[in-house]
Chains A and B, each alone.
Chain A
């Protein structure tokens, strides 16, 4: 597509429920990144995919968080047993392989997650 598409744009969920966030990167972008943006905290790096592989998952804040990417395109970020501290905007970005350090990313509009 023309840009990075994220869905849903807003999600309100009850504490303890599971949620799934989706990211559709720019066509041809093999690198995909997930970040979390909390008020006053800037952007926290969560995970990176090169193709379908995520070589380092250490940025995920807990084992309730997981992410996958299939077909080298769409990625889903799943949060199990959501907690109130998971409330944030979850951002996805994509780039050409290893180009982020030279050229930066293209970001999606994010999913605003509210856990009540």
Chain B
């Protein structure tokens, strides 16, 4: 079965620092990849997704992610974080079964110090 690993449990950065959150999935083939974000007290929202084509995907609020097939990775990046980026970030991939459900990583909590 597919699995998703997020390497960092909690990341603490100062404003304007660069961000990279790691995400690896267990096996390849055709795969769609997602990053979701959960701001404090809010519901999970789609941040960006890779479906096909350009492996560098741009999402909302200046986030981007790069799909590297050879490394089974889909790392999330942002050149300069803001205090408002404080949230929990989840990487997700389809389970590959018949149900079309997504498998989520355990999440990375990002705290940005003003």
Contact = CB atoms under 8 A, between A and B. Distances in A.
Nearest to A34: B101
B106 A48 contact: no
Overall SS of chain A's interface: mixed
B49 A109 contact: no
Nearest to B94: A101
B107 A31 contact: no
| Residue of B34, B43, B105 with most chain A CB atoms under a 10 A cut-off | B43
Interface residues of B, number: 26
A100 B100 contact: yes
B42 interface: yes
Nearest to A109: B43
A41 B104 CA distance: 10
Given A55-B99, A108-B43, A102 B107 contact: no
A62 B63 CA distance: 39
A40 B9 CA distance: 8
20 contacts: A35-B104, A40-B9, A42-B104, A43-B90, A43-B104, A45-B95, A45-B101, A48-B99, A48-B101, A55-B99, A56-B99, A91-B43, A98-B100, A100-B94, A100-B101, A101-B32, A101-B94, A101-B102, A104-B34, A107-B36
